[in-house]
Structures are given as structure tokens and as C-alpha cells.
Amino acid sequence: MKNDLDMIHFGISWWFTLFLAADGIPYSIAVRILDILLFEGIHILFRVGLNFLKLKESELLSVNGMENLLLSLRRGLRDTIYEEDNDLFFRLMFGINITKADLKVMRNEAV
């Protein structure tokens, strides 16, 4: 079943809080995101969001209905290996093969 979920439904809390207050993002990961943001710049937020969605991909594709989809996103990384192994989250994030041009296209589509 296809769910028509626009990024506005979940992305606003991510972008406005720089993932620091996002549901289901462990504090230790949020602090490292902020550190990387200060070092590398704003484009890292797209990489973080993309990684988060990639990690949740199979779960997000298997849920039915908007309410369940949003609940899954809000559950975030709770009760996952990434909650215990922050390094794994960041290794996977930086392992995503994406160029600055790709990020620019995604940013323009999201705005």
C-alpha cells in the first residue's frame, strides 16, 4: 500500500531542531550530529535524514496507513542496535554514496 507522506509531516521537527529534539534520536547521536554540523556545514542534515530513512526503510515500507507510518518515524532508533552503537550509525551515514550535487537536488526538492 502506498502512503502519501510528505516530508513536512516529520521533517520539520528534524530540521528546526537540528535533530537535537527529534523523536527517537538518542541524545548521544544528536550531539554528534551537532558537532558534525558545526564542522561540515548544513548539508550534513540531509545526509543524517537520508541515513535515518534508509535505516528505517523496510519498516516504513511495510506499515499501512499514515498514522502507523508517523508512529514508526517517531519511534526512531529506539530499541535498535544504533541506540547502543552510535559509531555504526555514523559509519553507515558516511558510507552512503552521495555527492554534493545530489544533496543540492534533494535540498531543492525538499524546499
In order of 4, 9, 109, 110, the CA distances from 52 in angstroms are: 19, 15, 18, 16
The predicted model scores a pTM of: 0.72
Q: Please, where are the H alpha helices in the chain?
A: 8-17, 27-40, 44-55, 57-62, 66-75, 81-84, 86-95, 100-110
How far apart are the C-alpha atoms of 34 and 25, rounded to whole Å?
A: 12
The alpha carbon of 29 is separated from its chain's Cα centroid by a whole number of angstroms, namely 11
Q: Which of residues 8 and 84 earns the better pLDDT score?
A: 84
Average pLDDT over every residue of 53-67:
87
Q: What is the pLDDT of residues 2-31, one digit of tens each?
A: 556 565 556 666 665 556 556 678 888 888
